[in-house]
Amino acid sequence: MAGFRNLWGEETMITRRHLIGTAGAGAALAVSGLKFSVANAAGAPLTAGVPEGVASYATMGTLPGKKPLIQLSDRPPNYEAPIEYLRTPITPNDQFYVRYHLADIPEIKAEGYKIAVGGDGANGRAEITLDDLKKMPAIEVVAVNQCSGNRRGLSKPHVQGVEWGYGAMGCARWKGARLKDVLDKVGLKKEAIEIVFNGADGPTVDKTPDFIKSIPVWKAIDESTIVAYEMNGVPLPHFNGFPARIIVPGWTGTYWMKHVIAINALTKPEGNFWMNPAYRIPIGKFPVRDRFISQETAANTPITEMVVNSLITSHRNGDKVKAGKVAISGMAWDGGYGIRTVQVSTDGGKTWGSATLGQDLGRFALRPWSFDLAARKGNNTVMVNATNKLGQSQVSELIFNPAGYHNNVMQSITLVA
Amino acid sequence: MHKIIIVLVAAVIASPTYAAEQVIKLKQAPGVDKVEANCQACHTLAYIPMNSPFLNAAGWSAAVTKMIKALGAPIDDDDAKVIADYLAKNYGS
């Protein structure tokens, strides 16, 4: 029974709360003020193509401080955003997705919170409080946080894991101290190769490897890599990493350690389960540029920067529209080079028109786009393809990999007029 | 334990909007007791229907082995076999 805890660290399971949870799912939808055009029997707007089993149980679920999100699992908490929550380039904190690997998640108070900084690759040790962080030069960066496994549920064939649809992502304005400034408190030895992070959350049984992640020193000392204590102008929500988390702009969310309590410099590669075999992509399959050389093997390498991608947020597949002008819109993003163009095709990819790009909040941010199409009576297919400033575009066929990462297949939806 | 339950009931009454726990009713078939007894120590049973129905028997067996070998689940060999069989029969492809 030891360590059998729910996400508030309480030790039991209680039936009454379950009943309230079930009854609350329908009501929660009304509260959100959104109408979902596609929903399973329980009211969750799941992405078409996720495993059938997801629809058998998934409901909307409301975590403290959050609007209803699609509850894929409550323990550990894995909640994704319906696409309607991704219609603005900044995702509001209460609509931001939640992802944890391990179920023992303590509530941390700002008072007494410290980050232990050191490691065999550092010259010394230090303890950094929240006040210490706030006294360092403050940096703000607008950046997409996307789970490595976003869209895993759409993999063909399906692969094991949390079966996310489109919504394991969001974009926020993060404020904090540069990780480089934190590391300067202890000084790095020239032998240091990786910086490793641990968060306060952990496993419910002792033998489960704690969730610990490292990044190469070159990325750690990048001017955009920060230890954030604010998200969109307010302290981080508990479920997004309070009191402080690591922000690694351009890279997938796995490295963005929440509730960070330890930052260590290493002279040898970090070798725990969450670095290898987890979070690996096959060598040579994806057009990624950021290498994590100390972790590479002949067969695979850690996932690093996000691939260029886009999402239609104004409509879902199968939506009814009126014939004539229909405004469609969505978001595009990449691993930090910035979006150059978003193109839309209404003839199955034979010809393409350019979407209008919206507000530019920086190269790591979501970039809004919009496009007016002329809907004809009947079925109208709409395809979208984003291209970044390197000239990289989305793919038309899935690049299959065993963990279902980097799914940037162009969406193709049908609107019915 | 009584004390914990009292505190929790009070918390539930005070904060109904915290309602977020899942109720997962697994298919009632031989072995479900072993699944419920072992798997919930670390995670909700939702992971089972979520990852279905696309794994074959070998896939489910590998998943159970990963939980034990890589992720430290304290499940004995006999239970592991019963669990893998249950998953393959009830949530397999």
Contacts of A160 in chain B (CB under 8 A): 51, 55, 59, 63
Task: Report DSSP state, residue A202.
Answer: B
Q: Nearest CB to B18: which of A56, A57, A64? A: A64
Provide the number of CB pairs (under 8 Å) joining chain A to chain B: 137
Domain boundaries for CATH 3.90.420.10 within chain A:
114-302
Contacts of A161 in chain B (CB under 8 A): 51
Interface test with B, best of A7, A8, A14 (most B CBs within 10 A): A14
Fold topology of A309-416:
Immunoglobulin-like (2.60.40)
Interface test with B, best of A40, A46, A56 (most B CBs within 10 A): A56
Tell whether the model's pLDDT for residue A275 goes beyond 70.
yes
Tell me what percent of the residues of chain A surpass a pLDDT of 70.
90
Q: DSSP characters for A353-399?
A: EEPEE-----TTS-EEEEEEEEEPSSEEEEEEEEEETTS-B-BSS--
Buried b (16+ CB within 10 A) or exposed e, A259-288: bbbbbbbbeebbeebbbbebbbbeeeebbb
- A287-294 long-range Cβ contacts below 8 angstroms, 24+ apart: A287/A392, A288/A335, A289/A335, A289/A390, A290/A219, A290/A250, A290/A251, A290/A335, A292/A215, A292/A216, A292/A219, A293/A216, A294/A193, A294/A194, A294/A216, A294/A269
pLDDT of residue A393: 98
pLDDT of residue A43: 78
Question: Inter-chain contact B9–A76, Cβ cutoff 8 Å?
Answer: no
Which ipTM was obtained for this model? 0.90
Q: CA-based diameter of chain A, in Å?
A: 70
In angstroms, the CA A364 to CA A367 distance is 9
Q: Pick the residue with more confidence: A119 or A14?
A: A119
Distance from the Cα of B77 to chain A's closest Cα (Å) equals 17
CATH of A114-302, one of 3.20.20.220, 3.40.190.10, 3.40.1360.10, 3.90.420.10: 3.90.420.10
Question: Inter-chain contact A72–B50, Cβ cutoff 8 Å?
Answer: yes
pLDDT of residue A35: 54
Q: Nearest CB to B46: which of A6, A72, A203? A: A72
The full set of domains in chain B, from first to last, is: 22-91 (1.10.760.10)
Nearest Cα residue to A44 out of A26, A67, A63, A18: A26
Question: Inter-chain contact A12–B18, Cβ cutoff 8 Å?
Answer: no
Q: CA-based diameter of chain B, in Å?
A: 47
Buried b (16+ CB within 10 A) or exposed e, A193-214: bbbbbbbbbbbbbeebbbbbbb
Tell whether the model's pLDDT for residue B5 goes beyond 90.
no
pLDDT of residue B21: 79
Question: Inter-chain contact A61–B20, Cβ cutoff 8 Å?
Answer: yes
Please report where in the chains the tokens 């209404």 appear, as a residue.
A346
Tell whether the model's pLDDT for residue A38 goes beyond 70.
no
Tell whether the model's pLDDT for residue A396 goes beyond 60.
yes
Distances (CA, A) of A35 to A31, A181, A370: 11, 46, 21
Rg (CA), chain B: 16
pLDDT digits 0-9 by tens, A144-192: 999 999 999 999 999 999 999 999 999 999 999 999 999 999 999 999 9
Question: Inter-chain contact A208–B23, Cβ cutoff 8 Å?
Answer: no
pLDDT digits 0-9 by tens, A3-34: 333 333 333 232 223 223 333 333 334 334 45
SS3 B56: coil
Distance from the Cα of B56 to chain A's closest Cα (Å) equals 12
> Is the preceding peptide bond at A402 cis, omega within 30 degrees of 0?
no
Question: Inter-chain contact B50–A73, Cβ cutoff 8 Å?
Answer: yes
Nearest Cα residue to A75 out of B45, B37, B65: B45
